[in-house]
Structure 1
Amino acid sequence: MSEASAPHAADRRDLTAAQRNAVAELLRVSPVADELGRRFAQAGHELHLVGGSVRDALLGRLGEDLDFCTDAHPDETLRIVKGWAEAIWETGREFGTIGAQRDGLRLEITTFRAEAYDQVSRNPVVEYGTSLVEDLKRRDFTINAMAVSLPEHRFTDPHGGLDDLAAKVIRTPASPQESFRDDPLRMLRAARFAAQLRFAVHPDVRAAMTAMAADLDRITAERIRDEFTKLLCGADAITGLRLLVDTGLAERFLPELTGLKLEIDEHAQHKDVYEHTLTVVGNAIGFEEEGCDFILRMAALMHDVGKPATKSVGPDSRVSFHHHEVVGARMTKARMKAMRYPKEVTAKVTALVSLHLRFYGYGRGEWTDSAVRRYVTDAGDLLPRLHKLTRSDCTTRNRRKAAQLAADYDALEERIARLAAEEDLARVRPDLDGNAIMELLGVPPGPVVGRAWKYLKDLRLERGPLDRDAAEAELLRWARDEGIVS
């Protein structure tokens, strides 16, 4: 591998390490990559490992998905890989991409592109390019605009991506204005890469993101959703979120986040909700056991979005946010629907937002066993996440108060465990099923059975398990009160 330009002295050590990483990673995949490169060369075409694959190789974390570019058009690419690839897919064909699998590696091979937006449509206009250098200039950032030609392993870096990788900075190959005008989603991608890689965004790029934030409105909700999800799951999600707010990008698709920047009252009687929220997100990340838990992170991000709408100042000048969890859950559901998140994901995040305040008050000794059962039942399979969210929400600087809240929640979890040992709280059901209800009351399937079932479930939550005789007696008493039986 040869470098495109001499690195700064301070970065030379990092570049040397990056090159060693790349050699090791490329040797790992070269049996497949080089073989594919030879097949393209024999057919009279170029093949280059490119983009994120080269970047990740330099960072020493190349995965099983490899990106290639070529001067061959999709039909020619299909002819070259047919009979060699173990599987082929054409879902990206309209964008010039053919997918293939070989020896456990997923390969995406894309024809050189000169892609641009028409600055009106939300969809890219795809035109095939004619050279590798043209293709690299079209890419989003310099760290993604490097290539390794196959099978000879020639390194191409016309825009100083290797230097930027060593300096941990995000820059665009063309001017930021030109790059973002072509594809406004790149502004969001800049924030996403800052979060994923812990890189700084170049001042010129940041300035263009701020000036052109409104152009993000040209992008579909689905594409924005996918980039935002990756950002929130980044290793440094807080930096990415701050970039969204500071550049005005959040205002275009997640205005609730910017709205958390409430004006602090003169007596400073409530926290900076925006900074508190970022702290809660960071705390929640610390509770993750393996990989990104998007549902937990999103709930942490949205848990207080109802506060601006519910803020009130009482006669004593105290600030309150009554029922902000109810309002926040409603806002969360609406926003995630607008961003086209799946219904099941939205439902889980919304439920956590609505439940996140339920714990407060437990330390006053007001909770009965019935209240604990309802807490567990209402949370359902979200209970482990609710534990983490509630603990994450404790950001007080008062050490005594923080210790007391932690002790209270420890006590609640111990109480839940004790009750769970006595009965399966996660699967609380009435002591009589539908068939028993119909037989005892002499009624057919219908609304009466549903009402009776709900009454018995509430009774179970209130009093715990009942034996058969007690459950039947309670059901008959309820039925008489309701006029169902005499």
Structure 2
Amino acid sequence: MADLRAIADSRPVRELAEAFAAAGHEFAIVGGPVRDALLGRSVTDLDFTTSARPEQTQRILDDLGTQTWDVGRDFGTIAAKVHGETVEITTYRAEVYRDDSRKPEVSYGDTIEGDLVRRDFTINALALMLPEMRLVDVSGGVEDLLAGRISTPGSAEASFTDDPLRMLRAARFASQLGFDVASETREAMVEFAERLDIISAERIRDELVKLLSAADPAPGLRLLVDTGLAERFLPELTALVATQDDHGRHKDVYEHSLTVLQQAIALEGERHPGEAPDTVLRLAALLHDIGKPATRRFERGGVTFHHHDIVGAKLVKKRLRALRFDNSTVKRVARLVELHLRFFGYSDQQWTDSAVRRYVRDAGEELERLHILTRADVTTRNRRKAERLEHAYDDIERRIDELAEAEELAAVRPELDGERIMAVLGVPPGPLVGRAYKYLLEVRLDEGPIGPEAAEERLREWAAKELA
């Protein structure tokens, strides 16, 4: 209770608790903050519940002189900033769900016990009543915290029928907390997987992003695949399970993809410590091989996946758009999937400077992510091969840095712009200028900087042949 007491004794929380008590209303910290404090995890968001109705809550906050705004008044929630701390305060609720919707018909409740029993999992059905510091646990949440178990306050069947999104939350908490899902809860996830179809793509997307933001998303992803939930919104991941990879016979592409995701997260932490989880990188790591099932061929006693990078990029665009990801995320993830094989082979035949420039040009803003993804994509058990690939990529990164320092590689472009091309050739804007620009870009990539005068001479030579 030490961490909970520290939270309760903080100025914003103490002031709120005293104000609600003075007005004759119950007030409590509820859900995730209580759970995380009991687990010794950091508490970043404060959620409160109260017996006060929204209009009464608003009056109390107005009397305190706090800034408030509606985040869901129809659901009884008012947000406020108290001494620099953003909080959400929700009236006790009792909810009824329709069979064809996850949106509840909300009615206000009268007791903290009634409010808690409707929540998704026992570990979230915990409240600390303030200012008296009384812990309320209506369904064995503390016991489940100690056991590392995820279960529902009532029957899992009723919980998931009411709100199917809770099934995805179970997978997220399994990864975030390292907990196991209780057998009856897991069985209900299998039975009611189809109920997920009534959930909006945006809500599913948000839960997927939260899961991928965990330190190790693999347990949650495995749960989604094993229960059939992934088939409802990410069938390409499930399709990887039975797809043997091209490295040998000891693993399937599914396990390889989870390993790549884990290794990418580790590298992300090493290279960018303290930064927020990189959703684009993690999506690319998870989905980089989804083109393999469609391209698998059995040839000469082996398995091939020719052009799975190109096919995979197209599948990624289609799936991420269906999940309502923004255009930038779709474009970036697809580009990484398309390029993830580009490096392999460098260790066998070192690239020319021209090839290195093209690698950087094609990666563009995704170069750093491509570095991480390519390194993470090495999952071979052959230590000698793994070390050879690691040294090869060390070498290509070194060469990129050297060329970048010498040539401003990140902004590779022809040494003559469109206006200068038109002036040298004496032509108006048109297709010829575009072709000339592409030619000069190839010269720049092949040979590096040659200077404006040499570029003009090369342009005249090209134009003489082009217009002959």
TM > 0.5 between the two?
A: yes
Per the alignment, residue 16 of structure 1 pairs with: none
1:33-112 correspondence runs (5 A):
33-112=13-92
1:174-189 correspondence runs (5 A):
174-189=154-169
Per the alignment, residue 115 of structure 1 pairs with: 95
Kindly provide the CA deviation profile for residues 111-141 of structure 1, in whole angstroms up to 9, marking residues without a partner as x.
1111232011243322222221111001001
1:71-470 correspondence runs (5 A):
71-262=51-242, 264=244, 269=249, 271-289=251-269, 290=273, 291-314=276-299, 316-365=300-349, 367-470=351-454
Kindly provide the CA deviation profile for residues 78-136 of structure 1, in whole angstroms up to 9, marking residues without a partner as x.
11112525421113222211100112211101111112320112433222222211110
State the distance in 1 between where 2:430 and 2:176 align.
53
Distance verdict in 2 for CA 1:477–1:264, change over 3 Å:
closer
State the distance in 1 between where 2:172 and 2:65 align.
33
Kindly provide the CA deviation profile for residues 189-215 of structure 1, in whole angstroms up to 9, marking residues without a partner as x.
000001111111111111111111111
Q: Secondary structure at the match of 1:292?
A: coil
Q: TM-score, normalised by structure 2?
A: 0.95
Q: Secondary structure at the match of 1:394?
A: coil
Distance verdict in 2 for CA 1:380–1:263, change over 3 Å:
closer
Kindly provide the CA deviation profile for residues 164-186 of structure 1, in whole angstroms up to 9, marking residues without a partner as x.
11211111111111111110000
> What residue ranges of structure 2 are gaps of 5+ in the alignment?
none
Greater Cα shift, 92-101 or 113-122 = 113-122
State the distance in 2 between where 1:80 and 1:453 align.
67
2:7–2:13 Cα contact (<8 Å) kept: no
**What is the aligned counterpart of 2:5 among 15, 20, 23?**
23
Q: Secondary structure at the match of 1:127?
A: strand
Q: TM-score, normalised by structure 1?
A: 0.91
Q: Secondary structure at the match of 2:454?
A: helix
Root mean square deviation of aligned Cα: 1.8
- The structural deviation recorded for 1:383 is 1.0
Q: Secondary structure at the match of 1:100?
A: strand
Amino acid at match of 1:355: L
Amino acid at match of 1:304: D
Kindly provide the CA deviation profile for residues 49-87 of structure 1, in whole angstroms up to 9, marking residues without a partner as x.
111121122223343421011122222211111252542
> What residue ranges of structure 1 are gaps of 5+ in the alignment?
1-18
Identity among equivalent positions (%) equals 56
2:102–2:164 Cα contact (<8 Å) kept: no
Kindly provide the CA deviation profile for residues 385-442 of structure 1, in whole angstroms up to 9, marking residues without a partner as x.
1111111111111112112111211221122122122111111011012221222222
Q: Secondary structure at the match of 1:225?
A: helix
Q: Secondary structure at the match of 1:114?
A: strand
Kindly provide the CA deviation profile for residues 445-469 of structure 1, in whole angstroms up to 9, marking residues without a partner as x.
4444333222222221111111111
1:86–1:100 Cα contact (<8 Å) kept: yes
2:257–2:289 Cα contact (<8 Å) kept: yes
1:21–1:59 Cα contact (<8 Å) kept: no
Amino acid at match of 1:151: P
Amino acid at match of 2:143: D
State the distance in 1 between where 2:259 and 2:16 align.
48
Amino acid at match of 1:357: L
Kindly provide the CA deviation profile for residues 225-275 of structure 1, in whole angstroms up to 9, marking residues without a partner as x.
11111111112211111101111110010011100012559x965741111
- The structural deviation recorded for 1:354 is 0.5
Distance verdict in 2 for CA 1:94–1:451, change over 3 Å:
farther
Amino acid at match of 2:313: A
State the distance in 2 between where 1:224 and 1:105 align.
29
Distance verdict in 2 for CA 1:38–1:99, change over 3 Å:
same
Distance verdict in 2 for CA 1:422–1:20, change over 3 Å:
same
State the distance in 2 between where 1:401 and 1:45 align.
67
State the distance in 2 between where 1:151 and 1:310 align.
63
State the distance in 1 between where 2:291 and 2:99 align.
35
Q: Secondary structure at the match of 1:288?
A: helix
Greater Cα shift, 407-416 or 369-378 = 407-416
State the distance in 2 between where 1:214 and 1:385 align.
35
State the distance in 2 between where 1:49 and 1:362 align.
56
2:96–2:105 Cα contact (<8 Å) kept: yes
